[in-house]
Amino acid sequence: MSYRIDEIDKRILYHLAADARNTSAPTIAEEVDVTPATIRHRIRQMEEEGIVEGYHADIDYERTDGRIVNQFTCTAPVADRHRLAQAALKVSGVVNVRKLMAGRENLVVTAVGTGTDDVTRIARELSNLGLELEREDIVQDELFHPYHPFGADDDSPSQSFADVQNLTGGAEVIEFTVPEDAAITGETLEAANESGIIDGDSLVISIERGDAVLTPRGDTAVEAGDVVTLFAPESVPDDTVEAFETQSGGRAADSGGRTADSDE
């Protein structure tokens, strides 16, 4: 997979998994200090990369004329598992097929039937495909929750940077989100370097603004909601980190509080 998700993407995925229908770009944007346009652009990117594969309604089929939701745990020959999973999806009433990495019980088929006779018909058709039915269970309820590590950590201080990569040789790349009251907000890159807001060894390599990625120049001004990627040959100095942090709540994080991914 060529696309590398960062902390902004993780927060987007958390909200989409929690309630995709009622999740709004402005709500997520406010939480992570970027613009709604950036959130919408990130969602489109993850859809194009196949990270977000679709949006599905959570339907209570029992309330639609008392239909029965049945789960069939099946075994398919490993070599034929993908083909049989595709074939099972074509059986009338089947709404979901999960492929499992196992020798036996490696397909889980969820189907909706109008009654016991219809469920029996679905079981027979699955068997005729060549699936060995191991178990049949009536699904009473299904609960969902987004992946906890992608959500906000209420016990940790708010961080204005989005992502950190430690590179070979001690170099560091940090992707910052820019709050309205950060020291860097409104400054041109040239002025930020001259005043020492950005140390002389650190280099801004990209600025994501909405659905555009800007090529940084000396006269490029940093705006609230930008996602700024900074490269440093060694660890980014604390003073430079502080320049991208919100000023209202004090210092948000130091170098010890960064979430780093190794890219050696």
pLDDT score for 255: 37
**Residue with the two structure tokens 């950036």:** 38
CATH 2.60.120.10 at 7-56, yes or no: no
**CATH architecture assigned to 61-138:** 2-Layer Sandwich (3.30)
CATH superfamily of 157-256: Regulator of K+ conductance, C-terminal domain (3.30.70.1450)
Length of the chain in residues, anyone?
A: 264
Same CATH topology for 7-56 and 157-256: the answer is no
pLDDT score for 160: 62
pLDDT score for 162: 67
In whole angstroms, give the CA distance from residue 225 to residue 230. Answer: 15
pLDDT score for 111: 97
In whole angstroms, give the CA distance from residue 7 to residue 152. Answer: 10
- Structural domain boundaries in the chain: 7-56, 61-138, 157-256
Global pTM value:
0.81
Q: Can you list the residues of the chain whose pLDDT is less than 50?
A: 156-157, 250-257, 259-260, 262, 264
pLDDT score for 161: 63
pLDDT score for 264: 45
